Amino acid sequence: MLKRVIAEAKRAFGLQSPGRNMAVFPDDTFLVSYPKSGNTWARFLIANLVRPNEKIDFSNVNRVIPGPEVTRNRDLIRLPRPRIVKSHQYFDPRYPRIIYIVRDPRDVVVSQYHFQRKRKLLADHFPLPEFVRLFLTGQTCFYGSWGEHVASWLATRHGTPGFLLLRYEDMIQDTAQELSKVACFLNLPATPDLLERAVDRSSADRMRQLEKSQAQLFTSTKDTRQDIPFVRAAKPGGWQSSLPPECAAQIEQAWGQIIQWLGYELLSGERAGSSDSAFPVSAMGGPLR
């Protein structure tokens, strides 16, 4: 009872991060992704582009691009508008403009496994196949399963004007080009110089350097194990060496159609399992790749 009073009092006075109860303004832009899909990197890139005169690091990125999961409600409300807000939420009809980052789920699961070890939510010897099983049923975080998350956004917003879909893998391959799409979407000036500077200032090397000295200043790394890095490989396809083939097969069985639609190659060949006959490919228009 007392706990409830305190929790609700905190909420009423804006001292809690609001999550799904966040107040959305019509001029907001949201940077959305499932966790461990390159969202923090994208925040660095965009924040460096928005504030070219202010070097972005782990101590100030939350201020430039806050999020309903990491920022107190009163701070969110007081932010200068238009806001750019980071979010891990599955579909929310109120988000007016969305930059959605998607990443190969076979890499996402490996990354999430290490992140949860870092946050001391998993023991080091926790079996990866068991984690994959939990991942498939959406039990590893509060935002639904990877497939539910991606499907809920794509099936509602893909192809509409206020939606920009980016693949993490394309961002790695040609960062400046993908960032220029973001700049165009946000109506930001983007000369090659500005883009290059933002890309340099957000490089994996620089972020690793910053993480070393600023881990305690950032919500996602504060009070976590320091022997496991937050900025990990920053490479696509790591799953091919670290994920047991049967685990990869399970993921393809569950979400083969979405994975293929997004242009990721399946290990198990052309057409994977039928259990995601759910995903209305026909309602989505042609495949992304």
**Tell me, what amino acid is at 220?**
S
At residue 253, the 3 state secondary structure works out as: helix
Q: Count other C-beta atoms under 10 Å from residue 27's C-beta.
A: 10
How far apart are CB 202 and other proteins at their closest, in Å? 31
How far apart are CB 283 and other proteins at their closest, in Å? 4
Give the nearer residue to other proteins in terms of CB position, either 48 or 89: 89
How far apart are CB 111 and other proteins at their closest, in Å? 20
Give the nearer residue to other proteins in terms of CB position, either 31 or 154: 154
The CA distance from 252 to 265, in Å, is: 10
How far apart are CB 250 and other proteins at their closest, in Å? 14
How far apart are CB 165 and other proteins at their closest, in Å? 15
At residue 173, the 3 state secondary structure works out as: helix
Give the nearer residue to other proteins in terms of CB position, either 119 or 158: 158
Strand partners, 164: 99
Answer for the pair 202, 44: CB distance below 8 angstroms, yes or no. Answer: yes
Binding site for other proteins (CB under 8 A): 1, 4-5, 8-9, 11-13, 20-21, 90-91, 93-94, 138, 143-145, 147-148, 151-152, 154-156, 274-286
Question: Shortest CA distance to 44 belongs to which of 77, 86, 73, 89?
Answer: 86
Question: Shortest CA distance to 47 belongs to which of 28, 70, 63?
Answer: 63
Give the nearer residue to other proteins in terms of CB position, either 10 or 212: 10
Query: What phi and psi values does residue 209 have, to the nearest 5 degrees?
Result: -60, -50
Task: Report DSSP state, residue 164.
Answer: E
Give the nearer residue to other proteins in terms of CB position, either 13 or 212: 13
Give the nearer residue to other proteins in terms of CB position, either 107 or 276: 276
Strands of the 97-102 sheet, one edge to the other: 84-87, 29-33, 97-102, 163-167
How far apart are CB 7 and other proteins at their closest, in Å? 8
